[in-house]
Structure 1
Amino acid sequence: MTATTDELCLRPATELAALIRSRQLSARELTDACLDRIERLDPRVNAVVTVDAEGARAAADAADAALAAGEEIGPLHGLPVAHKDTHATAGMRTTWGSPLHAETVPEQDELVVARLRAAGAVRVGKTNTPEFAAGSHTFNTLFGVTHNPYRHGLSAGGSSGGAAAALAAGFVPVAEGSDMGGSLRNPAAFCNVVGLRPTPGRVPTWPAPIGWSQLSVQGPMGRTVADVALALSAMAGPDPRVPIALGDPGAGFAAPLPERLDGVRVAWAPDLGGRISVDPAITEVLAGSVRVFEELGARVELDCPDLSGADDVFGTLRAWLFDAAFSDLAQQHPEQVKESIRWNAEMGAKLSGSDLSRAETAHTALYERVVGFFDRYDVLLAPTTQVLPFPVEQEYPTEIGGVPLDNYLEWMRACTLITPTGCPALSVPGGFTPDGLPVGLQVIAAPRADRRVLEVGHAFEQATRFGERRPAL
């Protein structure tokens, strides 16, 4: 492949979709270019752990034939996509990053996969994830570790780390993932791409063993905010099988996004109201970036909602979910379930009904306080991560600025404190440290205001162009 096709692989998904739709580019040409780039460069990154080149080429040929025949096509027609290896793909190995599922091949797509297929996307493979998506560093005993495309030997984040690395490296123009405590936001920040944790129910999850839970969501990732909006337009929308599914159709998210923010009310919370410790290198980068919002016409104030109780809510509800999902598995196969999952499931097994009722009461009060905060502001800005990408040999950071951390979740509190608020949160490229490591800016809005975080993130992205700085692989 030529340098020209390599450049093609790094173009925005919105541009590629338009080129395919106008028949200036074929889906087969784009798919071949992506597959070639994966074959040449992924051994160094380890982002795409299962590839179906033959199936992808057949799907691309079918997409080109449908366009030539004048058939109605979807918004992602002909675009290669990679699915997180925790999301079931019919006929394609889905391992959840666990040796217990090394040979599992689902019979049907789960909903997020089916919706992207229905929108015309071409499935090329599966992206790496930590075991059962637990933790924000992508490694497992089946496939090993995913490296950050910007610095080999450093973490790509997680748990959608393979997806973020694949996007940054130009392996696919569109990817998807999931987020309980930052798994769409954290890797986007580490890899200088865009990740959206939508409002719970915006992208319905089905099947799901506990359909009423709002802690974990699925969502899109891309190299630009407009790419994420395009993918969200295909992923969002109601489904009667999902009790928390929102009723709004997804198509409106693909509408053009503004480049000015005149009159937008912005709150900036560099340490989330004193609740998190942040590496000073991150704070320094973002302090300069936040000034861009004033240049775009926004009014910026230092403020933060009252997030008291958010730690307990997140910790309790996560442990309860881990007990339900993993306690039996951990007891049956203790040597094949990693320690952090066993620990979290054990914490859940110790919970009482009173613990859960206390957490849900605090959850309700937290939600009401945050909704009131967004009566005064349109968006809240905060760091996406508290640390920079760390060595891949380290399972998780154990201290920030010399302050010890208690467990494998503590270093992700910039995201976990936001999760139980029910707010949509977008991680957008926020700049680089002097030695070239990416920093993410988290844009948060009121529950259900997913379009707003996309609008604000897009305007910032267009003004700064941080996301256009691609790694040298």
Structure 2
Amino acid sequence: MNALLDYSAVEVVSLLRRGDVTPHDCLDAVEQRVGEVNSTFNALPTLCFDRAHDRASKLMQKPRDERGQLSGLPLVIKDLQKVSGVRSTAGSLIYSDHVPAFTDAVVQHIEDEGGLVFGKSNVPELGVGFNSLNPVFDPCLNPWNVKYSPGGSSSGSATALALNMTWLAHGSDMGGSLRIPASFCGVVGMRPSPGRVAMANRAAVDQTLAVQGPMARNVVDLAMFLDAMSGETHRDLLSKPRPLRSFASAAHVQKLPKRVAFSADLNIGPVDPEVARIVQNAAALLQANGVVVDQASPNLDGVQRCFRVMRAYVLACSLGNVLRKQAALVRSTDIRENVTEGLQLKIDQMLEAEQARVRIVQHVADFFETYDLLICPTTIVPAHPIDQPTVVECAGQVFDGYFDWTALTYVAAVAGLPALSLPCGVTRSGLPVGLQVIGPTNGDHDVISCAAALESMLSFHQLAPVRGRSEATALSENIQRPA
């Protein structure tokens, strides 16, 4: 049964629908693999196999064609979302013993489609930070090299995928929290258009900076998962109905765009030369297949200041009361400073940020009148050392704040665009590099279709991080975990 994990999610769902395997078989395979490597890499600090088996038994009482799009496929949920009856800590001492009685909207959609949640994936404290450091659990390690960070905040989800502990993993993304770990760990992660995946726990009713999204080992699997996650709910005013055309169909078509823009830096900051070269070589495959590829970027003037203000506001909305009431239990200085900054925002700062966002959205809309898609690196560097909570320098530029290096990912958040990170190569030191495909407003299908076509041209799938039990055991004897 352990060999099941070498199949794609789409292939396993097909086996489930035919009755060739059962959801229990899949859970047994996952549990064996988790037992082999999870203690070393700490991707999934909370497991709930008993709950998953119970739900599998209930699901099997239904005819196979009524078991939903996932048909009993096991998967993991990021430890920021609530799953009824399962410890949900958000990586915080405040919630270290919290066991919710209800399930969040996105998880409910997944379970309604036959997804079996068997674990919660590791995150930084309260989901704030591009690492996996929190005071509740040991940090998650990068599956390609344990001396490096897996990124964050969807750290455990990306690591679990890369190590074959799961077929699918849920993530969330405000400034890159889903795409950055996908890039660092060599998996696929997508930030869908705002409202595509319902969020019943928005920090503000009209908040569009943060979204929920799918992560997988390949684009076709990711598209299937996005189909299962999508759909509206009366608890989210921004949620969209499930589209008539499936995202899975877009992945299978693999339609190449006519004209794309490529930029190594979007004219907003430095990029490691090796990362830029790897991504540019991957983008050149499109040109070799008849796509017009221009060196171009939209006008993004003011995006850094805009994101900083809007992010501070969202954090104040979501964590302001937490900081007021339980500041002593918040360990991260970054959280305290960011939330305080949000609570102290002046109305003129908010107006300036909103006006800048309007301009950026219009500039981007004009840009996509000419180009079908925009391609750039997902991150400006490969994974950074795990003893550094964030990237401190790139190409000679030193960063002041811990998220200043993430501009390539937070551009999509500010402009409200769908964006997907696709692994496209490895550095000379053996760390994966992600290529980012950004689409126009509501262009999720086109992003997925192009990414699937690019994936078929690349040979990244032939590479893999640590997989075997003996390798993981050897690593565990020499790991010096950060405090």
TM score, norm. by length of structure 1: 0.95
Taking a change above 3 Å as real, the CA distance of residues 73 and 465 of structure 1, as seen in their structure-2 partners, is farther
Relative to structure 2, which stretch is displaced further, 414-423 or 444-453? 414-423
Greater mean deviation of Cα atoms: 189-198 or 262-271: 262-271
Work out whether residues 192 and 467 of structure 1, in 8 Å CA contact, stay in contact via their aligned partners in 2: no
Superposed displacement of residue 471, structure 1: 1.3
Q: 1: distance between equivalents of 2:244 and 2:163?
A: 28
Residue 437 (str. 1) matches residue 416 (str. 2): no
Partner residue in 2 for 1:38: 34
Give unmatched runs, 5+ long, in structure 1.
none
Residues 260 and 334 of structure 1: is their aligned pair in 2 closer, same or farther, counting only changes over 3 Å? closer
1:70 and 1:423 map into 2 onto residues whose CA distance is: 36
| Counterpart selection for 1:319 from 306, 312, 320 | 312
Q: Which residue of 1 aligns with 2:284?
A: 291
2:104 aligned residue? 110
Pick closer, same or farther for the CA change 1:18–1:260 going to 2, 3 Å. Answer: closer
Q: Which runs of 4+ in 1 moved over 6 A?
A: none
Q: Verify: 1:25 aligned to 2:25, yes or no.
A: no
Displacement of 1:259: 6.0
Question: Quick one: which of 303, 327, 339 aligns to 1:334?
Answer: 327
How much has 1:266 moved relative to structure 2?
0.9
SS at match of 1:417: helix
Query: SS of the residue aligned with 1:229?
Result: helix
Shift of 1:333: 3.1
Q: Work out which of the residue numbers 444, 454, 459 in structure 2 matches 1:460.
A: 454
Equivalences, count = 466
- Unaligned residue ranges in structure 2 (runs of 5+): 468-483
Shift of 1:109: 0.5
Show the 5 A alignment for 1:71-470. 72-249=66-243, 252-255=246-249, 257-258=251-252, 261-262=255-256, 264-272=258-266, 274-337=267-330, 338-470=332-464
Equivalent-residue separation in structure 2 for 1:16 and 1:71 (angstroms): 15
Asked whether 1:53 is paired with 2:49, we answer yes
The one-letter code sitting in structure 2 at the alignment partner of 1:316 is V
* Cα offset, 1:382, TM superposition: 0.6
Task: Encode CA deviations 1:233-265: one digit per residue, 9 max, x unaligned.
Answer: 111122233222223437611225356555521
User: CA–CA distance in 2 between the matches of 1:72 and 1:259?
Assistant: 26
| Matched AA of 1:323 | A
Residue 52 of structure 2 contacts residue 116 of structure 2 at CA under 8 Å; is this kept in 1?
yes
Contact 1:47 1:163 in 2 (8 A): yes
In 1, distance between residues paired with 2:403 and 2:64? 51
Whole-angstrom CA distance in 2 between matches of 1:390 and 1:150: 12
* 8 A Cα contact 2:275 2:380, kept in partner: yes
Deviation at 1:329, TM superposition (A): 2.3
Residue of structure 2 equivalent to 1:8: 4
SS in 2 for 1:243: coil
Whole-angstrom distance in 1 between the partners of 2:462 and 2:280: 20
Q: Could you tell me which amino acid in structure 2 is paired with residue 59 of structure 1?
A: R
What's the Cα RMSD here? Answer: 1.6
**CA distance in structure 2 between the aligned counterparts of 1:472 and 1:250, rounded to whole angstroms:** 40
CA contact (8 A) 1:203 1:235 kept: yes
Q: Call closer, same or farther: CA 1:82–1:389 in 2, change over 3 Å.
A: same
What amino acid maps onto 2:268 in structure 1?
A: R
Q: What is the TM-score of this pair, normalised by structure 2? A: 0.93
